[in-house]
Amino acid sequence: MNLAAMSPSDILALGARAGAMLDELARISAEPSRLVRLYLTPEHRRAADLVAGWMRQAGMEVSEDALGTVRGRFSAGASPDDAKAPRLLVGSHIDTVVDAGRYDGPLGVVAGILAVDHFSAGGPALPFGIDVLAFGDEEGSRFPSTLATSAACVGAFDPATLGFADRNGVTFAEALKAYGKNAQDIAAAAYRRDEVAGFVEVHIEQGPVLEQENEPLGVVTGIVGQSRLRVVVTGEAGHAGTVPMELRRDALAGAAELILAVERIARELAADRVVATVGRIEAEPGAVNIIPARVAFTVDVRAMSDEVRRSAVEQIESEGWRVVEARGLQVAFEPFHEAVTAECDLTLQNTLAAAIADLGHRAPRLPSGAGHDAQMMAKLCRSAMLFVRCRGGVSHNPAEYASPADIGLAIAALIRFIERFAPGQA
């Protein structure tokens, strides 16, 4: 059945099928009362196995690379040459944030599987193959690494990542070994440029624009750059009852002043769409009656302009130096992640917009303030993203929701995109 033969009820049925798969994945969690599925954990293993089974049912050959990315390979072209043509890559991630919703990541994996299922179950033959990729480390929720799995696929994995430790002191390298992988194989996970024709990721918008536009689908123009750093403020522990206020070197009070400065700096740069977040903080020794000696917190800074983002980070650092100087403290800034802004390929954007128009919808274009595997894949090949409206723009929250109707349209648009896609010229 080609898309022209797909009725609104077929599209709705696709959405319902995707919804059931997303529900099944969402049941795989480390905690019974909330969704937590971190990279290289038993839950990751179970989710990867479930996804692999779906890929096989959809006619794909399944393998797993050295960092655990599940790869479903669909090669049913009309001629033997089709199998040799550069492949279209489609995918997203199956790891989650802590207390996650069920759509951020898994939607793009499920959409890829159901799109392939459409072609393997009697859709038109394609002059190229498709790999569906289920990445495992997009959120950076377990290790301070982010996009490590897609980095391996593009040959940009940083070996320093292997030394990163999680909250329990388990290193990335140890977790990888326990997952049954061999770090020696990471280089072999990289695609060659000449075997890839492009990457496309379906993802919920995670913002309110499509809802405001009253449209189910949108085309992403570019993905923000990000800087993540750990800030460590050091003072001196002391007795909470005996040290007079003017003699204290309170690391937590200094950190609090700096955290408010982070917020102020981002607000001052609001016209440049800079956002900055302190999402995690730890104070030591962490007792009610001890002046805090050491505070570590994270800062996440994002902007569409790399120059503006770097300047915001510089301002945060110089404000940090001022605060610690005034308070007799010390500060260290430890950057642990930087992703530059990635433009989405214009030709692929237009192909996505045409696919959405084929379904009778307008395709608003919008930037992504969230990070995505698509920005890493852009280092390898032309990369594009299709956004799906989500209720209230809510994400990284269990209330995250996209309707089966919108999801069905997104998969139908992906199918149409694949039909329109011609490697090298789409």
Rounded CA separation 249/17 (Å):
58
Q: Could you tell me the smallest distance in angstroms from the CB atom of residue 203 to ligand GLV?
A: 9
Which one of Mn ion, ligand GLV, none interacts with residue 65, CB within 5 to 8 A by kind? none
Q: Could you tell me the smallest distance in angstroms from the CB atom of residue 146 to ligand GLV?
A: 7
* DSSP single-letter state for residue 378: T
Which amino acid, residue 245? M
Rounded CA separation 196/116 (Å):
17
Binding mask 137-176 for ligand GLV (x = CB under 6 A): --x-------------------------------------
Which parts of 123-196 fold into alpha helices (H)? Answer: 148-153, 172-178
Q: Could you tell me the smallest distance in angstroms from the CB atom of residue 304 to ligand GLV?
A: 14
Which one of ligand GLV, Mn ion, none interacts with residue 105, CB within 5 to 8 A by kind? Mn ion
64 token code pair: 């797993």
The number of residues that bind ligand GLV (CB under 6 A) is 3
Q: In the bound complex, which residue of the shown chain has the CB atom lying closest to Mn ion? A: 104
Q: Could you tell me the smallest distance in angstroms from the CB atom of residue 298 to ligand GLV?
A: 11
Rounded CA separation 159/225 (Å):
21
Q: Which of 91, 105, 292, 408 binds Mn ion (CB under 5 A)?
A: 105
Taking the least distance from each CB to ligand GLV, the nearer of 136 and 371 is: 371
Rg (CA), the chain: 23
Which one of ligand GLV, Mn ion, none interacts with residue 408, CB within 5 to 8 A by kind? none
Rounded CA separation 358/4 (Å):
9
Which parts of 58-178 fold into alpha helices (H)? Answer: 80-84, 106-120, 148-153, 172-178
Q: Could you tell me the smallest distance in angstroms from the CB atom of residue 169 to ligand GLV?
A: 24
Q: How many helices (H) and strands (E) does the chain have?
A: 12, 16
Beta-strand runs (E) in 116-256: 130-135, 196-204, 217-223, 225-234, 238-239
Taking the least distance from each CB to Mn ion, the nearer of 205 and 419 is: 205
Q: Could you tell me the smallest distance in angstroms from the CB atom of residue 372 to Mn ion?
A: 6
* DSSP single-letter state for residue 86: P
Which one of Mn ion, ligand GLV, none interacts with residue 257, CB within 5 to 8 A by kind? none
Q: Could you tell me the smallest distance in angstroms from the CB atom of residue 425 to ligand GLV?
A: 32
The answer to whether residues 228 and 414 touch, using CB atoms and an 8 Å cutoff, is no
Instruction: Find the binding residues for Mn ion in span 203-232 (CB under 5 A).
Output: none
Taking the least distance from each CB to ligand GLV, the nearer of 371 and 404 is: 371
Taking the least distance from each CB to ligand GLV, the nearer of 91 and 371 is: 371
Q: Which of 6, 370, 386, 418 binds ligand GLV (CB under 6 A)?
A: 370
Measured torsion, CA atoms of residues 343, 348, 353, 356, in degrees rounded to the nearest 10: -120
Taking the least distance from each CB to ligand GLV, the nearer of 36 and 370 is: 370
Note the Cα 219 to chain centre separation in Å: 17
* DSSP single-letter state for residue 424: T
Residues near 7 by beta carbon (within 8 Å), at least 6 away in sequence: none
Closest CA to 152 of 193, 182, 190, 184: 190
Question: Could you tell me the CA-to-CA distances from 61 to 48, 99, 199, 219, 307 in Å, in that order?
Answer: 14, 32, 19, 30, 43
Taking the least distance from each CB to Mn ion, the nearer of 105 and 129 is: 105
Q: Which of 101, 136, 218, 371 binds ligand GLV (CB under 6 A)?
A: 371
70 by DSSP, 3-state: which? strand
Which parts of 159-284 fold into alpha helices (H)? Answer: 172-178, 209-213, 251-268
Which one of Mn ion, ligand GLV, none interacts with residue 371, CB within 5 to 8 A by kind? ligand GLV
Instruction: Find the binding residues for ligand GLV in span 244-263 (CB under 6 A).
Output: none
Q: Could you tell me the smallest distance in angstroms from the CB atom of residue 364 to ligand GLV?
A: 20
The number of residues that bind Mn ion (CB under 5 A) is 2
Q: Could you tell me the smallest distance in angstroms from the CB atom of residue 107 to Mn ion?
A: 9
Closest CA to 105 of 139, 59, 67: 139
Q: Does 101 bind ligand GLV (CB under 6 A)?
A: no
Which one of Mn ion, ligand GLV, none interacts with residue 400, CB within 5 to 8 A by kind? none
Which one of ligand GLV, Mn ion, none interacts with residue 201, CB within 5 to 8 A by kind? none
Instruction: Find the binding residues for ligand GLV in span 102-141 (CB under 6 A).
Output: 139
* Interface residues toward ligand GLV, by CB under 6 A: 139, 370-371
* Interface residues toward Mn ion, by CB under 5 A: 104-105
